[in-house]
Amino acid sequence: MKKILAPSLLAGDHSCLKDSLLIVDQDGRNWIHLDIMDGHFVPNLSFGPQTVADLRKHSNIFFDVHLMLDQPQKYIEPFAQAGADLISIHVEPEYDIPDALEKIRSLGKKAGIVLNPDTAVEEVFPYLNDVELVLCMTVNPGFGGQSFIESVLAKVRALVALRSEREESFLIEVDGGVGPEHVPACLDAGVDVFVAGTAYFKGDKEARDEFAASIET
């Protein structure tokens, strides 16, 4: 299974997000990760559907949209219409998760389920038949620049084992504090998709390409 580097637009230049998107596109990456934060489920705000729609006009890259929201089910359709390719929702808030996942897929989008570092991996097990991706947060969500929590890789290993046992095909993604130094351990654990923000955008093109090559080859 080919591994994927998904740069996180949250770490780009917010005065001109289009330029950050184009850097990722022109670097030849296939995915970009867009963190949507509401100031309630996480203590920060990012961007809404209109920003995603405006960015969509400038690139056909795969939009991996991560809803860090108290009530994600209310925003699935707006983000689907804005151009999301995959919409991931958290397991922690109180809402009808099966219904929300069904809504994502009914709109022709891929569905993902997300768990925070302190959430037991078993919490996502009931939804694995209904998703194309499981995102294991490797920091507490809300802000960039945090340190990678390596103990989360135990959850990745558990998901890899269960995926093999059930003969399923969902991807396993990590997001938070991911840098080149974490790639070997993540690959060993079985990570498929690597979200990287600060570590990606802080480098020049040569550094970005080296980071991608360590994952994608």
- The residues annotated with a catalytic role in the active site are 35, 175
Q: Is 176 helix (H, G, I), strand (E, B) or coil?
A: coil
Check residue 45 and report its DSSP letter: B
Between the alpha carbon of residue 170 and those of residues 23, 132, 146, 152, the distances in Å are: 28, 4, 27, 18
Place of tokens 């620049």: 145
Smallest Cα–Cα separation from 142: which of 35, 24, 30, 65?
A: 35
Q: What are phi and psi of 150, to 5 degrees?
A: -70, -25
How far, in Å, CA of 214 to CA of 217, rounded?
6
- How far is 81 from 53, CA to CA, in rounded Å? 8
Measured CA to CA, the distance from residue 130 to residue 170 in angstroms comes to 9
Strand 171-175 relative to strand 31-37: parallel, antiparallel, unpaired?
unpaired
The end-to-end CA distance of the chain, in Å, is 11
